[in-house]
Every structure is written in C-alpha cells, then in structure tokens.
Amino acid sequence: MRKLILSLALLGFTALPVAAQSIGGTYTVAGTNFDGSAYGGEATITLTSGTTCTIHWETGGSSSDGICMRNDDAFSAGYVMEKDIGLVVYKVEEDGSLHGLWTIAGKEGNGTEVLTPKK
C-alpha cells in the first residue's frame, strides 16, 4: 500500500510540471500563409501561471503578441498582429514541438504553423 501511495504521489508530482512548465521557452517557427507560401521566424513563450502564458512571434518581417493557454496536449493562443485579431490552435507533440492551424478574424481560410523548441 505504501508503494502504491508513493507511486501515485510521484506520478502527480512529475505530471504537473511537465504539463505546465515544459511549454515555456524559445521556438523556431515554420509556417504557411493562407496562399500556401512559407514563412519562418522565432516565437517566445513566457509562463504567467500554471496554465497561462504570453507569446511573442517575430515572423516574416512582422511581430505579434498574444495570450496563450495549455490544456493537456492542446495549446492555443489569441493574438493581435497590426489591426488583425487571430487564433492559433496547436497540438503539443511528445518531442515538445507544437503543430497547429491559425486564422484571422473575418478572413477565409487558415495557415499552418510548427513551433520547434530551440535547444
């Protein structure tokens, strides 16, 4: 019984930091625009709580800022780029990369984006 309690405690202790803290850091960005053209750059995710964060992108000669949140293997961010409001939804992969789709309010279509952690 003691081993079971210790095992459960260790699982709970290790699972929470991985879910919340492993998302912060600097990432290489590779994406496609609505028309399929490619872009690249860098994104920085800064934790603001156990589940929320801020994100800053420098891509294709422009920058944007947003608020983000993680829930298990789902990671999403709302952002502002110039006067446009956008949304991106990623899946957190086992290797720490984020694979997602993004869109801009009032526009038809979506783009793709992969964030790869810088080591």
| pTM of this structure | 0.81
How much is the average pLDDT of 77-104? 96
Q: What is the DSSP code (8-state) at residue 54?
A: E
How far is residue 63's CA from residue 44's CA, in Å, rounded to a whole number? 11
pLDDT digits (tens, 9 = 90+) for 48-74: 998 899 999 999 889 999 999 999 999
